[in-house]
Structures are given as C-alpha cells and as structure tokens.
Chains A and B, each alone.
Chain A
C-alpha cells in the first residue's frame, strides 16, 4: 500500500500550503483532477522526490520513502513528453532503466514485444511517433518494474486510437504487476476509463469523488 499522510508543502511565496492525504492499493489506479496550477504535478514531484515536503509521510508498505533520493525511490514516471532521449536508440533508452546489462538484449526485445513495438530496438527515438515514444517509455517502466507508477498527463497529444490502446496497456500492466498508479490528467476519458477511484484537487487538498 502507498500511503501519503498529512503531506505538507508550499512553493516559495505560497501562503496556504498544500496538504495531501491519499492511499493507493496494489493494482489500483487513482486519478487526480484539478485546474491548472492546482498542485497536481507538485504532488507527483513530492512522491518522486523532486520536492521535499515540510511535513508528513510518504510510505510504501510501511517503509518511508522520504529519506530516499529520487533515483533510489521505487518510482517510475511517465510525462506528457520528453520521456526519451531523442538521440539514443529505443534499446539504449530502455537500457537506461536497467541495473545490469547482462541479458538485456533479450529483456528489451521481450518488453518491446509486450508494448507492440517488436523490432523497434535499433531505431532512434526521434524517428518515432508520439504514441510510439510513450510505448517505449512504458516498456522501460515495465522493465524497471518499480511498484509505483506516476502518470503526468501521459496520453495528452496522442490521437484517440493511440491514447485508447495506451490506456488498455497501462490498465493490463497495472493489474498484472500490481503497480500503485497515480494518474494526473485533464482528460476526462483517461480518468473514466482507467481510474478505480477519483480525486479532485482544489483548495490545496484532495477530495475523493463519490462513485457514480
């Protein structure tokens, strides 16, 4: 279980701090909605370790994540763009997520097959479409197999068909891997299709929406 308890943070000059409380079960996808600047990305930055809270706790299965730097946290992130390094090949981009390169070729080939990009390993990231780039990033996430997945508007900018197939993929992998997923998206379709529970972020706090 991912637990976020009484997590407090304020940007410089911000008078009223954010205060977040949230629980995400294994295999669960939680969607967070809110207006621009409401603090959705701030919450993800806190969980990923890019920002340090003034108070509160973030824990996975009772192990606090706060003392860990971003690179040691059990977290994968998928942004709207810039998830890949354009000048590297697909294989090199995925290999960045590996601790050891032993047997990596087969592993990369396997995950690429899983995300529907078999044979794409030698291609440069810059030659891929937006949807393909997101699939490669998801393949890397799959290979790293970190228990927490943070999705920051990951399907924005994709055409409807590609976005739909990406959502299917995320849903399947979350169930199969028991990931704890926090999704931030402006797109109502993303939340409706993916989320097990939905939260609104307003007034610097999270409020759970009643199930329809």
Chain B
C-alpha cells in the first residue's frame, strides 16, 4: 500500500527551497574562500622568493592549448571511427573510454613512466636489441601525452554520443542520396559534433590548465612548471602565502576568461540522447583508416593502464602492507570517497530538482551557477582558500583536513553530476510532469514511483564519479597532508619522490582498480536495483 504520509520528500516549494539552500551554501563557502584569499594578498608571509608569473602563465597556456588542440582532434577521429565500425566488444571499449574522466592522472603518469621511463618497458625491449629511446617522458612531451590519453578519450566519448544522436531517418536519407565519406562527414557528422566543441574545448583547456598531478610527476623541473604546481611549491616548499595567492588570482582570471566565452556558444557536452540503431559503414579504404585510428587510440589508452596493473601485481605487497600509513591512507581515501560521493549526489539532486521546478530562466541559471565553481576555481586554489580560511579562523589546517577534502571533492564533481542528472531529470519532467500532476503524484510518492526508477542509473554514475573524484584528489591533500594524515594518491606521489617504486606500483594498481570497478559496478548495480522494482 502506498502512503504519501509515510515519508515526505520535498515537493514543489520544498524542492526549490532545498536547491536554493544548496546553492546558497556553496556561494557562501566560495565567498569565504575569496575573502581569505583577498585578506592574504595584503600581508605576505614567509620567505619571498620571486615568482615569474608571465613564464608560468605562458607554460600553463602552452601545455593547456596544445592539449586542447590534440585532444579535440584525436577525440573527433576516434569518435568518427567508433561510429563507423561494428565489432565484438565495442560497448566495452566505449565504456572504457568513458571511464577516462575518472582515471587518476597520477596513475596514467605512472603508467607512462613504467613504459617510457629510462628503465621502462620500451627501453627494456630496445636494449635487448642494442637500441634505446632517447626522448625522455619527463617534460612537455610527457605532459601532453598523459593529457591526450585522458582528455582525447573523454572527448571521443562525448562526441560519439553526438554522432549517436543523429536521427536514423536522417542517416537513411544521407545514405539513399549516396553521400561519400567526406561529404557525409561535412553534412552529417560535423554539424552533429560542432555544437559540443566549444564547451568541450573549454573543459579540456581548464582540466589541462589546472592539471596538478601530471605536471608534478612528469614536469621534469622548473622549465615546465605550471601555475598550479607553483602554488603548491609556494605553500609547501617556500611557505610564501602571498605568492601563492597572487598565482591563484592569476589562475582564477584565466579560468574565468576561458569559461565565459564558451558559455556563450549554444550546445552542450551533456550526453545527447538516445543512440540511433541505423548502422552505415563507409567503404573499405576509409574503414582501413578508421581501424588504424581506433587501434592506435585503444593501444594508447590501454597500454599505460595495463602497465600499472602488471606493475602492481608483480610488486611486493607485504612490504607496503607493513607500513602503518598505508592503512591510514586507504581508510581515509575510502571514507573520503564515500562521503564525497554522497555529498555530490545530495547537492546535485537538490540543485537539479529545484531547477526543474523553477519557471524563471534567470532563477534556474542562478541556482545552477554556484555548482560550476570548479570550472573557475581549481582544486589547488580551492584548497589554498580553505587552508587560509582555517588559519584565519585560528584552526590547525590538519584538524579540518578530512572535511575540506570531502567538500572540495564534492565541488569538483558537481559540474559533472549536473551534466548527468540535469538531462535525465528534465526528460522525466518533460514526459511525466502533466501526468503526475493529474494523478496528484507529489513529493515522496512522485520521487519513488516516477523519478527514482527512471534516473537510478544516472544516480549510480554520479555516486561513482563522486567517489572517484574524491579518491583521486591530489590538489587538496598536497596542502593539507602530513606524515600522519595522507591519502592513497598522495602516498603514491611521495613514494615516487622517495624512489619507493614498489609502493607506488601497488598503490597505482589499487587506485586504478578501485576507480574502474566503482565506475562500472555502481551504475550497473543501481540499474539492477531499478529493474528489480519492475
């Protein structure tokens, strides 16, 4: 028997209030962080080693610009190839590419070192033949390669969903008109993809511009240092908080200047709806090219991850297990991951449900805006703000480290959570709102009978993403971490710095396994949960 009074879920006005509360809380938090940053600009503390901001800005822009260019081009090529080819295991490969967004940057960087480092796989094979790889993985080349692996596949997954959204009838029309490969790309593919490209480019640029662990591990020295790493160095190595704040404000200006023009373009990077069922392969000569592109993309993505797993399996596990800080790091990482996931989902649902209950477009924009904080306030800047805030409140930064980790991770995952939940909740509202109202389904009853069963999978994805983002954070812990308080990724970075490659190999494998398993398993289990209610 259904009882609407048994458990109440906010309806109409309640949902709006919950969303406004969530948005206001984020805004207040960001306001406090800005206040802390602003306050520190005036009083520079610690040593005052000069920082070359123009050089750092140039390096950050070069690596982010090149990353964006090659990732978008690679993404288009891989999406185009995936769209045209049909083969066993294709859904698995597409799913693997989708998991690029949660694959830890430290793990990919470590995988690249395992393959291309001086004692890596490539040199082991080449040395046996009396040869060696001259180019070092450390430096701009390594940074670009690591970003390409993560961002190129991420771009491919987003663009593939745009191609999949081309209506079958339009493809049939194109095929019956005999469009060749080039014309087909220009008439059908490019128009489908181009709407997503400004937003996608902005996101990739920001991800690369604010990339911390990859530059930290593969940067190879001050010449390739970026703003993000310089902020970390200013706080942890020089304790020059004034310099750190100056760098952070520079970073904020660039990030804002990047995201605002992208918002002016129509189109979105959210999944573009149902996949069409019409398969139209190109002629054989074109298919050979597509097979080559896809093969290269697959090997490029899988090989570093495989290297990490192989390295983890063949390393000495008992040595790491004997270290007490490993267990502390594992416990912290998992608890932060779970808490971050739940907070991401709570904030994401509060904001999304409120937006669908608001008629005013301005209201919807205002409620959604704070959720995109991360796009302009990257994790190291966010954590610097928290760091300064706790100091100005007279607290020891370490005493609030766990809370800061959870809050920051949830804020990082929130834009992605909204991109996933938003279209799903809107689709349910668009289709069933009138019917639900006519049947007086409101509040908890509406949530349980209409919304929950239809967005369960998306909820699983958001939880998985929140967990992985929280688990993988390196930016926040780099400022708050101590010998006695650390997380798995930071323990791995420190193990690498101390040449304990055995420890790093196992931690990298654990991180990768945890992320991939969660990203695949949670949406699946939540989907099953929904089916079980049928």
Binding site for B on A (CB under 8 A): 45, 48-50, 70-73, 75-77, 79-83, 85-88, 96-97, 152
Contact = CB atoms under 8 A, between A and B. Distances in A.
Contact of B177 (A45, A79, A96): A96
Contacts of B285: none
A168 to B, nearest CB: 24
29 contacts: A45-B172, A48-B172, A50-B172, A50-B175, A50-B278, A70-B172, A70-B175, A70-B176, A71-B175, A71-B176, A71-B179, A72-B178, A75-B176, A76-B176, A77-B172, A77-B176, A79-B169, A79-B173, A80-B169, A81-B169, A82-B169, A82-B170, A82-B173, A83-B169, A85-B170, A88-B187, A96-B187, A97-B177, A152-B169
Interface residues of B, number: 14
A70 B187 CA distance: 18
Nearest to A45: B172
B171 to A, nearest CB: 9
Nearest to B283: A69
B291 interface: no
Binding site of B, secondary structure by majority: helix, strand, loop or mixed? helix
Across the A-B interface, the 9 shortest Cβ-Cβ residue pairs: A71-B178, A82-B169, A82-B170, A79-B169, A82-B167, A70-B175, A87-B191, A96-B177, A70-B176
Contact of A83 (B173, B187, B191, B278): B173
B188 interface: yes
Contacts of A83: 169, 173
A82 B167 CA distance: 7
| Residue among A48, A77, A82, A88 with the highest chain B CB neighbour number at 10 A | A82
Nearest to A81: B169
A19 B167 CA distance: 27
Given A50-B278, A71-B177, A85 B172 contact: no
Nearest to B278: A50
A96 B188 CA distance: 12
A89 B178 CA distance: 19
A73 B191 contact: no
B176 A48 contact: yes
A165 B175 CA distance: 28
B232 to A, nearest CB: 46
Given A71-B177, A71-B178, A77-B173, 13 more contacts: A45-B172, A70-B172, A70-B175, A72-B178, A73-B176, A79-B173, A81-B167, A82-B169, A83-B169, A83-B173, A85-B187, A88-B187, A96-B187
A96 B179 contact: yes
Contacts of B175: 50, 70-71
Interface in B158-195: 167, 169-170, 172-173, 175-179, 187-188, 191
B167 to A, nearest CB: 5
B274 to A, nearest CB: 14
B195 to A, nearest CB: 10
A152 B168 CA distance: 13
A94 B175 CA distance: 15
Contacts of A152: 169
A49 B172 CA distance: 10
B66 to A, nearest CB: 30
Contacts of A48: 172, 176
Contacts of B170: 82, 85
| Residue among B169, B172, B175, B191 with the highest chain A CB neighbour number at 10 A | B172
Contacts of A80: 169
A85 B191 contact: yes
B86 to A, nearest CB: 14
A85 B188 contact: yes
Contacts of B169: 79-83, 152
A88 B176 CA distance: 18
A87 B169 CA distance: 16
Contacts of B176: 48-49, 70-71, 73, 75-77
Nearest to B187: A85
Nearest to A50: B172
Nearest to A152: B169
Contacts of B187: 85, 88, 96
Contacts of B188: 85
Nearest to B183: A96
A81 B177 CA distance: 16
Contacts of B178: 71-72
A76 to B, nearest CB: 7
B512 to A, nearest CB: 36
Contacts of B172: 45, 48, 50, 70, 77, 79
Contacts of A81: 167, 169
Contacts of A97: 177
A122 B172 CA distance: 25
Contacts of A50: 172, 175, 278
Contacts of A49: 176
A75 B177 CA distance: 9
A76 B175 CA distance: 11
A38 to B, nearest CB: 18
Contacts of A87: 191
A162 B175 CA distance: 28
Nearest to B180: A71
Nearest to A87: B191
